[in-house]
Amino acid sequence: METPASAEADHYDVLVVDDQPMIIEAVRRSLVVDSKARIHGCSSALDALDRAIELRPAVILQDLTMPDVNGLDLVSSYRLEPSLADSSIVVLSATQDPQVKADSFARGAADYIEKLPPVTEFVARVQHHAQASRASATRNALMRALDEANQRLREVNENLVVEIGAQRQKVEMLAAVGSNLASIQDLEVLLGTILDGAAKFSGATAGAVFIAEGDELKPSTVYSAGASRVSKSSAKRVRFGEGTVVGEVAASGSALRVDHVAPSTSQRQLAMDETLPAHPQSFLALPIALGSKVLGVLVLCDANDDDGFSTEDERLLRHFAGLVAVALQRAQAARSLMFRMVAMATLRDPTETSGHVLRVAGVSEILYSAWAKTHSISTTARVGDRDRLRFAAILHDVGKVDTPDAILKKPGKLDDTERSRMQLHAEIGAGLFSGIQSDLDEAASEVAHSHHERWDGSGYPRGLRGKEIPIFARIVAVADVYDALGSRRAYKEPWPRDRIEKVFREEAGKHFDPELAAILLDNIEEVESVRDAYNESDSASN
Ligand code: C2E
Ligand code: SIN
Ligand code: SIN
Ligand code: FE
Ligand code: FE
């Protein structure tokens, strides 16, 4: 489903701007050891900016002393050019003057290399800047997609409010759910909120959201007994158009409303979900569609009115399903971008797939729910918190994109140099989110930055202690270590449960927030079941 980041990252372009063809040639020869680097030379300062804009290279190596144009002015011109925002500018100069170096950095150069260093150092530095450029491009793509989707969602919301302005109270309720959706990025939280809103709004006592996956529909979220929850991953799927309510609504793209279900209707024909009533009195099944593309089906069962769902309910809920479709598309876009960021960090390590981050997210959620109960966090705040926490937990290690493979994949213990290099992933991860305008990036940045801090102040990168460490980071620290200990890594075998529990008993108040360590131990059964739900084969397709 997802394009592997490794494929996208196969090649990168390097533009060498130097009036001496010899230097361009020397750079080309040095970088020959990196088959991913494509070297382009430009020996005329007057052409350099145009060449750069045309090529949008990952790295620009810029000479300082050139005829016609001062190299420092070129650095400034690159930095002022929006299409080069993701390019890393590196000054390559014979000058050792500290003032010139300072000027270069002040004008936005990412590095200053005296020409030419030993090949291995040179290659490593160019590769480092190519990776930084890729991280920046991913971050900017994520920002743009979220902005566009948020904009679409706002438009749909406004249309909804205008069109059905007459039915005040219900409209207000819909708008409230709608504007709530605009701030939710996590698919599972989003669907839960949608279903809750739709069920309460129509007085239904049960319901489900099915999501299209290929030619099947997967029950994703179910509502019963006044609350919605995520379906089991083993829940039965329904085929498009196979003579079932859900399948037919998906295939035809039209709603189906039955006010009095005939007693002879078989369970197979209804085929809704194991958790829904086998013989509902009434139901309303609505396509969740964008244009002719069906993304899913929303089913509501057993309106509390004896005559089933009203026409008015149906009309409003159709608008609601349209709103859901846009929100769903946005969530899927955000999700796919998140996974791309996650993939950048995890695909490189064959022992660690996106399973790790999904499990860390799942376990973090359990810890948070228990914690929130004893810290008087309102229900509304909890929904938003849960969403931000999931997003942040999924991205906690995204800074590893910058960690060399030789370290991440090392089968044995890291030496001191490797360990310090690896520990940079916390700060690099936090840096990846700078500039993203949403309520999610703050949490993600916080968690990426502080998930290796320790309660007693002995962690990294800043040595924060106790409640100086943001609560989300304290939670993810527990979930991350719990999952790392129970998993196979390039450098270790999975640990048995009693050995893992011992770590949390002994490290409470040292490595971990003692309250959270206790919550983990008290909820160990539930935590284990989450881990099993996101086993590797399940999550690899995410
Ligand atoms: P990770 O594998 O996801 O581990 C996350 C955290 O779980 C570690 O943070 C550490 O606090 C804990 N942890 C994992 N395995 C063990 C273990 O065998 N014993 C103990 N006591 N704790 C463990 P840390 O140490 O800051 O490491 C962060 C990341 O750095 C790790 O993520 C892994 O990707 C890498 N790493 C750490 N140590 C090594 C190593 O010895 N060899 C290799 N190849 N990578 C390592
Ligand atoms: C997401 O929806 O935020 C991705 C993780 C998941 O739902 O499994
Ligand atoms: C950051 O410092 O960049 C993120 C927030 C924090 O942990 O203070
Ligand atoms: Fe980490
Ligand atoms: Fe981790």
Q: CATH number of the domain that 486 lies in?
A: 1.10.3210.10
For a ligand 2 pocket test, name from 183, 341, 394, 536 the mutation site with the most ligand atoms within 8 angstroms of its C-beta. 394
* Mutation probe of ligand 1 site: the residue of 416, 478, 489 with most atoms within 8 A of C-beta: 489
User: Pick from 107, 109, 57: which is nearest to 86 by CA?
Assistant: 57
Q: Show the ligand 2 pocket: residues with CB < 6 angstroms.
A: 186-188, 335, 358, 390, 394
CATH code of the domain in which 130 resides: 3.40.50.2300
pLDDT of residue 436: 46
399 and 318, same structural domain? no
Sign of CA dihedral 267, 299, 213, 341: negative
| 84 and 195 assigned to the same domain | no
- Per-residue confidence (pLDDT) for residue 367, from 0 to 100: 97
Give a yes or no: residue 154 inside a domain. no
Helix/strand/coil (H/E/C) assignment for every residue in 109-177: CCEEEECCCCHHHHHHHHHHHHHHHHHHHHHHHHHHHHHHHHHHHHHHHHHHHHHCCCCHHHHHHHHHH
Distances (CA, A) of 413 to 96, 409, 532: 38, 11, 28
Question: What pLDDT shows up at residue 542?
Answer: 31
pLDDT for 28 beyond 70: yes
| Residue of the CA atom closest to atom 42 of ligand 1 | 413
Mean pLDDT of the 497-505 span: 97
Answer yes or no: do 120 and 173 share one domain.
no
Lowest mean pLDDT among 108-117, 134-143, 391-400, 489-498: 134-143
Residues 191-198 have a mean pLDDT of 81
- The answer as to whether 251 is a domain residue is yes
pTM of the model: 0.54
Residues 326 and 358 in one domain: no
Q: Which of 229-243, 318-332, 434-448 holds the top average pLDDT?
A: 229-243
Closest atom of ligand 3 to CA, residue 431: 3
* Domain finish residue from 331, 360, 382: 331
pLDDT tens digits along 91-140: 999 988 989 999 999 999 999 999 888 998 999 899 888 888 887 787 77
d(CA 456, CA 453): 9
105 domain residue, yes or no: yes
**482 found inside a domain:** yes
Ramachandran region, residue 463 (left: φ > 0; alpha: ψ -120 to 50; beta: rest) = left
CB 309 within 8 A of CB 324: no
Do 132 and 68 fall into the same domain?
yes
Do the bridges between strand 111-114 and strand 88-93 make them parallel or antiparallel, or are there none, so unpaired? parallel
| Among candidate residues 138, 155, 172, the one where a domain is terminated | 138
Ligand 1 centroid to Cα of residue 491, in Å, is 8
Rounded to whole angstroms, how far apart are CA atoms 468 and 480? 19
Give tens-digit pLDDT for 401-445: 777 778 888 888 999 989 988 998 898 888 776 654 455 567 888
Q: Is the pLDDT of residue 160 over 90?
A: no
Q: With respect to residue 143, please indicate whether it lies within any of the assigned structural domains.
A: no
Total tally of structural domains belonging to the chain: 3
Of residues 244 and 166, the one with the higher pLDDT is 244
Most informative mutation of 354, 485, 506 for ligand 1 (most atoms within 8 A of CB): 485
pLDDT band at 58 (very low <50, low <70, confident <90, very high): very high
Helices (H), 395-535: 405-408, 416-423, 425-432, 439-450, 471-486, 497-507, 514-522, 524-533
Instruction: Extract the tokens encoding 115.
Output: 């020409």
Residues 180 and 321 in one domain: yes
What's the mean pLDDT in 289-311?
85
Residue 65 has pLDDT above 60, yes or no: yes
- Banded model confidence at residue 491, pLDDT cuts 50, 70, 90: confident
Give the per-residue pLDDT at 180. Answer: 59
Tell me: do 388 and 483 sit in the same domain. Answer: yes
CATH assignment of the domain containing 288: 3.30.450.40
Rounded to the nearest integer, the mean pLDDT of the chain is: 82
What digits encode the pLDDT tens for the residues 71-85?
Answer: 999 999 999 999 999
Question: 480 in a domain, yes or no?
Answer: yes
Is 274's pLDDT higher than 50?
yes
Please tell me the distance between residue 468's alpha carbon and the centre of ligand 5 in angstroms.
Answer: 21
Same domain, 195 and 287: yes
Query: Please, are residues 457 and 464 in contact by the beta-carbon 8 Å criterion?
Result: yes
Answer yes or no: do 400 and 440 share one domain.
yes
**Residue 352 and residue 396: Cα distance in Å, rounded?**
14
Same domain, 321 and 360: no
Query: In this structure, are residues 453 and 462 in contact, taking their beta carbons and an 8 Å threshold?
Result: yes
Q: Which residues form ligand 1's pocket by a CB distance below 6 Å?
A: 408, 410, 413-414, 422, 452, 480-481, 484-485, 489-492
Winning range, highest mean pLDDT, from 212-221, 275-284, 514-523? 514-523
Strand locations in 214-282, DSSP E? 216-224, 227-230, 238-239, 256-258
Residue 464 pLDDT > 50, yes or no? yes
| Contact between residue 72 and residue 102 where contact means Cβ atoms under 8 Å apart | no
Residue 446 in contact with ligand 3 by CB distance below 6 A: yes
Say how many Å lie between the CA of residue 302 and the centre of ligand 5.
45
Residue 342 within a domain? no
The response to whether residue 470 sits with its C-beta less than 6 Å from ligand 3 reads yes
Q: Say yes or no to pLDDT of 163 above 60.
A: no
Q: b vs e for 410-440, b when ≥16 Cβ sit within 10 Å of the residue's Cβ?
A: eeeeeeeebeebbbbbbebbbbbbeebebeb
**pLDDT of the residue at 183:** 59
CA atoms within 13 A on the CB side of 152: 17
Position 164 pLDDT exceeds 60: no
Q: What angle do CA 352, 358, 362 make, to 5 degrees?
A: 135
Looking up tokens 């270790």 gives 492
In tens, the pLDDT along 444-456 reads 889 999 999 999 9
Q: Range of 376's domain?
A: 349-539
Tell me whether residue 15 is in a domain: yes
Q: In the predicted model, is pLDDT for residue 338 greater than 80?
A: no
Report pLDDT for 353. 55
Is residue 443 within 6 Å of ligand 3 at its C-beta?
A: no
Tokens 């102040």, residue located: 457
Q: 529 and 385 in one domain?
A: yes
**Tokens (6 digits) for 264:** 């002879």
Claim to verify: residue 357 and residue 502 sit in the same structural domain: yes
